[in-house]
Structure 1
Amino acid sequence: MENIGSKLRKGGLLLAAMGIISFVLSIFNYNLRLLAWIDNWGNTTGWIIRIVLIIGGGALFILFGREEEKEDEA
């Protein structure tokens, strides 16, 4: 059974991946359907949301990945 840290780690990876994919696709004037709403608030706000997704998702992935490594060592 997966613990909450493992689920948060996978969720963080998903958020970061969605942010990166959205970042790349927006260069070509495309976007993920799930994230199409972020450009409704303007171009600058859309970029800020993408950056927050990447940083926040990456932080969850790194933080909860370290906890998992510590549990494996013990």
Structure 2
Amino acid sequence: MDFIKSKLSSIGSLLFLMGLVSAILSIFNYNLKLLIWIDLWGTFMGWVIRILLIIGGAAIYLYTAKDELEN
């Protein structure tokens, strides 16, 4: 079970960082290759997806890292 939580923690931090880097690069009209599809639905939906990546990644990371910190 600890193996799964450690992997989920890594995935959560990856999602958070990808969303954050994508938001920063979007200001300069750049984007990550993995996230080019975000802006296909328009600018507003692109920002909604970026924000959801940041919030979702942080939530997954904090939820799984909380148990690691308690031990």
Question: TM-score w.r.t. structure 1 length?
Answer: 0.91
Identity %: 53
Structure 1: unaligned runs, 5 residues or longer: none
Amino acid at match of 1:48: V
Over aligned residue pairs, what C-alpha RMSD do you find? Answer: 0.9
Question: Number of paired residues?
Answer: 70
Match for residue 36 of structure 1?
36
Partner in structure 1 of residue 47 of structure 2: 47
The corresponding residue for 2:25 is: 25
Highest CA radius of gyration, 1 or 2?
A: 1
Gaps of 5+ in 2: none
Runs of 4+ in structure 1 off by over 4 angstroms are: none
| AA matched with 1:9 | S
Q: Which amino acid aligns with 2:59?
A: A
Shift of 1:35: 0.1
